[in-house]
Structure 1
Amino acid sequence: MTTDTLHLGVRIARRAADVYAFASVPANLSRWAPGLGTQVEEADGQWFVVTPEGRARVTFAPRNDLGVLDHEVVTPSGLVVRVPMRVVADGPDACDVVLTLRRAPGMTDVELARDEALVRADLARLRDVLEAPVA
């Protein structure tokens, strides 16, 4: 049986507000989400990431106090990918970050597994960046 929806998460030993403040800034994507794109650019108030397929537009949900980091990615081919993502507090000094990965139309099991591995690596990188000692 194939899976069409995966909920992928990571625990981060930081205040949820700090994690949200960092992850909600599109300019920070290159520091923690190279699986999405290797370079981040801002043009005319819109944010783009450079992917192997070309430039993709990324739009985050408006800033909020609920930890909602949902974002929409418009790929170079025009496919719109909606990505639910949340920062969920767990006490004063820790949180979980959960991202929902959905199988795109026509996506093979191999492609879904590749995307899952990229998301898991990005979430681990987010944790590592935010838990790193401050110099």
Structure 2
Amino acid sequence: MSVLQALTVTVTIARPPQEVYDYAREERNFAAWTTSFSRSIRQEDDWWIVETDEDPVYIRFVPRNDYGILDHEARVGDGSIVWNRMRVVPNGSGSEVLFTLFRQPDVSEAKFAEDAGMVRRDLETLRRVLEG
């Protein structure tokens, strides 16, 4: 059994959890807050295709749920699938959004740090969009 290096990035958003969840879960909003890599998004069957500066990324969220779970799979250019773990949890009258990255075996330390920075920027964008 191998264990991957993990890093959880969080952001506090001064909006109710259901509002944060509903906005983030709506795939049509994805490109508005994932600005570090998304250029546009379109639907094809049950996948959302995110156009990036590189290859398209195919995204599919878990079904809507009452637990704030926003996990989604991302199929990247080489066909591999990476599961992204994301949650919206209550924090007083607001929300905490958590995104856990797992460093894949073929990803360098520098690339992992770059990915974490992108997630951090995207979560901050989500906060700005929702808090207005």
TM bucket, shorter chain: over 0.9
Q: Structure 1 residues 72 and 36, CA, compared in 2 at 3 Å: closer, same or farther?
A: farther
- SS of 1:114 mapped into structure 2: helix
Structure 1 residue 36, shift from structure 2 partner = 4.2
Structure 2 residue aligned with 1:60: 61
Mind listing any 5+ residue stretches in structure 2 that lack a counterpart? Answer: none
CA RMSD across the alignment: 1.3
Structure 2 residue aligned with 1:121: 121
The one-letter code sitting in structure 2 at the alignment partner of 1:80 is: I
- SS of 2:56 mapped into structure 1: strand
The one-letter code sitting in structure 2 at the alignment partner of 1:33 is: T
How many residue pairs get matched? 129
- SS of 2:88 mapped into structure 1: strand
What whole-Å deviation, never above 9, does each CA across 1:25-64 have from its counterpart, x for those lacking one? 1110111012342211112342110123311110001001
Structure 2 residue aligned with 1:43: 44
Mapped to 2, the partners of 1:57 and 1:125 lie a distance apart of 21
Mapped to 1, the partners of 2:17 and 2:113 lie a distance apart of 28
* TM-score, normalised with respect to structure 2: 0.93
- SS of 1:14 mapped into structure 2: coil
Mapped to 1, the partners of 2:73 and 2:46 lie a distance apart of 15
Asked if 1 retains the 8 angstrom alpha-carbon contact of 2:46 and 2:60, the reply is: no
- SS of 2:63 mapped into structure 1: coil
Mapped to 1, the partners of 2:70 and 2:111 lie a distance apart of 24
Q: Structure 1 residues 25 and 44, CA, compared in 2 at 3 Å: closer, same or farther?
A: same
The 5-angstrom pairing of residues 1-135 of structure 1 reads 4-91=5-92, 93-132=93-132
What whole-Å deviation, never above 9, does each CA across 1:50-86 have from its counterpart, x for those lacking one? 1233111100010011000000000011111100100
Give identity over the alignment, percent. Answer: 37
Mapped to 1, the partners of 2:35 and 2:5 lie a distance apart of 23
